[in-house]
Each structure stands twice: as structure tokens, then as C-alpha cells.
Amino acid sequence: MPDLKQSGGGGACRVAVIWIDWYPYHVARMQGLCSAPTLSGRVSGVELVGGVGVHAGLKFRADLPGDLPVTTLMPEGNWSTANHWKLAWMLWRQLDRLNPEAVLVPGYYTLPGIAAALWARLHGRISILMTESAAYDHARRPGRELLKRLMLRALFDRAVVGGRDHAEYLRQLGFAPESVSRFYDVVDNDYFAAGAAEARRASSAQQHNLRERYFLYVGRLAPEKNVAGLLRAWLQYRAEGGTWDLVLAGDGPERLLLEETLSRSEIGDSVRITGLCTAKQLLPLYAFASAFVLASTREPWGLVVNEAMASGLPVIATDHCGCANDLLRDSGCGEIVPVGNEPALTLALHRMAQHTPATRAAMARAARERIRDFSPWRFGLEVASVVDRIQAHAQRWPQEEAL
């Protein structure tokens, strides 16, 4: 049981939350933490690098609001070139300065992350793992899984995860179910809902160089996203009489391959590749899309699905998207297809396009309703509940020992 007798009180830091580089959804999560009544004014953020993060060559970092209590350890640093030993030391010193009651640690696979968990352990603080790993993400080796089980038991008191698949994987690794909370994978739903609604009100698809009906994908153009497979399934859909276009919003290592495929197709002009988009630039794409598709072969969660659902879009996703069981199954707002099954994906595209306007409107309402629970506010309450419960138990501990 962590020893919390030295912490808390007044304006002391209750929670320090760490991420490598902060994207808009990290900012939203931080705001959710700050909105929790028992954490308000007592949350501090730590960003490891302010340059390019874990996605080499692509910078997704957001400009951080000036009133957000976040310290960047290496403002000009890039994750791939930074000295991780130095980062771990800088993070340790920052935690010494903050002296938080709890540390939210982003995974167990980096040196700074391990350092943060060790700091919490050695200082008698609460160590909370933030993870979205599922059993099907990678091929699992028994020896490595045993080592991971021992590491998790040694480093972490609690965990907060995206959903069912991630909680089940932690259970397989020896985490007690009651030690795992959900609602880690959230975005600013209100931003996307309001932005898409305003785009529909104030403009038209044509004004944004968009067709009347199109499937939308948002994300990196990378192998694990299976955008090439989505394109092949869509080309087959069109060959079989489908009429909807395809918009691919993103950039990445497979862009040239996709463009070469389109250059050989007679309907290549029905596909638009936008390049990397900011959250603001995505709003009209979400606003006028008819459906969203995520065909990934490996996807820890898929936060773009949250964004699409908040914007009122029905969704098609593979069963290897970590969000599928929590957001789509039995939701009435989309469909789950087997990973890597392009004929099944083509059929799903047909089914989606054949829905009546009334059915799609009902799916849009169901999407907004389902995503409502997955909010930054809910994430903040989950973390606050964990910290409050552990602290309350720790404060009772000396009394129980005396009895």
C-alpha cells in the first residue's frame, strides 16, 4: 500500500500525468483530469519532447494552451534522436519537484516510463499504468509475457485502459480486474460535434472540394493501417456498381504506393488524398462524409473513430481495432468486419451505401449517444476515483494497524 502521509494538502500536486508528446487528445485528457472536482488545480503534466514524437517524420504535436500546467522537458527534442537516459533523469528530477501523490505512466516499454514508475514505487506514491495493449496486437511469446507479468506487478498499483480488450489482456498478465479502470481513450467530443455541425450549417461539401457521398479514412498512411487493403476493397466496391467516393485524410510511408495504384485506375479521380490535416481541417471532412472506415490490421484503439462518432458518422472497423467491442458492437452505429478480409470489407461498404437516409440518420444518433460516455470528463473522474480510494484506504491503514 503506498505511503501517502507526506503528500496532499493545500495546493500540492495530486496527479502528474506523462506523455511523450502531446496531441490534441492528450490536451483533452489533461483538461478532463483538471475538471475532476478532487483534482482541480492539483494536476501537473509532463511532456517528454516537443518535436517529432513516436511517429518518425510526422509531427502531430498540438500547441499547448497557455493555461495548461504542462512542462516540456526537451522542447526541441525528437523522440527518435533524444537521449532516453537523459530524459529519464530529467523526468525523475521533475517528479522530485512536483512530488505528486500519483503518477500516470504511459506504458511500460520506454526507459522514461519505467523511471517514472520506479520513482513512484521508491517514494511510496501511486503508480498508474495507462495502456491500450490487447492480446491480439502482436504475436505473444511465453517467456516475454512472463517477464512482462513480473514487471507490471513490480511497477504498478493500478491501470487505466481503453476498453474490454485491454482490460482482458491485463487480466491475462495477472492484474486483478478491480485494479483496472476504463475510459482512457477519449477525445474532445464537443469540439468535433460542434465543429462538424457548424461546417454543415455554414458551408457545403462542394465548397470544400468534396463529393456528395464518400467514405472517409483519417490517419497515417502506414502498413498497419491497411489503407492499401481499404483501397482495394473500395475499388472492388466500385467495380460492382458502388457509387460513393473515398477520401483518405493523412500522410505516411505508403502514400506513394497508394498514389501509384490510383494512377493506374480509371476511377482514380474519385479518391482524394488530403495529406496531413490539423483537427480544424478535419472538421469539414467529418461533416460531409457519409461513413467512416478504419481497416487496420493493428490498432490499439482508434481515436479517429471517437472523432467520427462525435461528428455523427456511422463506422465500419475491423475486429483488430481496440475500440470495436466498446464502441461498435451492439451499438446500432456501425459494423465490425474480420481483419484482413477484403471481400467482407467490400460487402460492408455496399451495405453501408445501401442504407436509407433515415437509417443513416438513426445510426448517426446512435453514434453520438454511444460516444457520450467516452469523454475527457469521464477519464478524469475515473483517475480521481482511483486516487481518492487509495488515499482513503492509506489514511485508514495506521488506524487499522493500531487495532
Asked if pLDDT for residue 33 goes beyond 60, the answer is yes
366 in any annotated domain: yes
Rounded to an integer, what distance in angstroms lies between the CA atom of residue 89 and that of residue 293? Answer: 42
> Do both 176 and 201 map to the same domain?
no
260 in any annotated domain: yes
How does pLDDT run across 345-365, given as a tens digit for each residue? 999 999 999 999 999 999 999
4 in any annotated domain: no
Asked if pLDDT for residue 1 goes beyond 70, the answer is no
How does pLDDT run across 319-344, given as a tens digit for each residue? 999 999 999 999 999 999 999 999 99
Closest CA to 285 of 349, 215, 361: 215
Asked if pLDDT for residue 225 goes beyond 80, the answer is yes
Rounded to an integer, what distance in angstroms lies between the CA atom of residue 312 and that of residue 364? Answer: 4
Asked if pLDDT for residue 180 goes beyond 90, the answer is yes
Percent of the chain with pLDDT over 70: 94
> Do both 141 and 223 map to the same domain?
no
> Do both 37 and 92 map to the same domain?
yes
> Do both 218 and 118 map to the same domain?
no
158 in any annotated domain: yes
Confidence (pLDDT) at 6: 34
> Do both 367 and 397 map to the same domain?
no
> Do both 301 and 317 map to the same domain?
yes
CB 109 within 8 A of CB 133: no
Confidence (pLDDT) at 63: 83
Asked if pLDDT for residue 67 goes beyond 70, the answer is yes
How does pLDDT run across 99-134, given as a tens digit for each residue? 999 999 999 889 999 999 999 999 999 999 999 999
The CATH number linked to 162 is 3.40.50.2000
> Do both 204 and 298 map to the same domain?
yes
Interval 55-68 mean pLDDT: 80
Confidence of residue 396 (pLDDT cuts 50, 70, 90): low
Confidence of residue 11 (pLDDT cuts 50, 70, 90): low
Confidence (pLDDT) at 349: 98
**Distances from the Cα of 385 to the Cα of 161, 247, 289, 388, angstroms:** 14, 41, 38, 5
Rounded to an integer, what distance in angstroms lies between the CA atom of residue 115 and that of residue 106? Answer: 11
CB-based burial label for 279 (10 Å; 0-12, 13-18, 19+): middle
> Do both 277 and 139 map to the same domain?
no
Confidence of residue 395 (pLDDT cuts 50, 70, 90): low
316 in any annotated domain: yes
Would you give the DSSP letter of residue 86? H
pTM of structure: 0.92
Rounded to an integer, what distance in angstroms lies between the CA atom of residue 307 and that of residue 312? Answer: 9
Question: Residue 284 is part of which domain span?
Answer: 189-371
Q: H helices within 177-297, ranges in order?
A: 189-202, 227-239, 255-263, 279-288
Checking 199-205 for CB contacts under 8 A at 24+ apart, the result is 199/283, 199/284, 199/286, 199/287, 199/288, 200/287, 200/288, 203/284, 204/288, 205/288
> Do both 209 and 171 map to the same domain?
no
How does pLDDT run across 252-262, given as a tens digit for each residue? 999 999 999 99
> Do both 178 and 202 map to the same domain?
no
Confidence (pLDDT) at 7: 34
256 in any annotated domain: yes
Q: How many structural domains compose the chain?
A: 2
7 in any annotated domain: no
Q: How many CA atoms lie within 13 A of 292 on its CB side?
A: 31
Asked if pLDDT for residue 9 goes beyond 50, the answer is no
80 in any annotated domain: yes
Q: How many residues does the chain have?
A: 403
> Do both 166 and 212 map to the same domain?
no
Confidence (pLDDT) at 402: 44
> Do both 384 and 275 map to the same domain?
no
How does pLDDT run across 235-283, given as a tens digit for each residue? 999 999 999 999 999 999 999 999 999 999 999 899 999 999 999 999 9
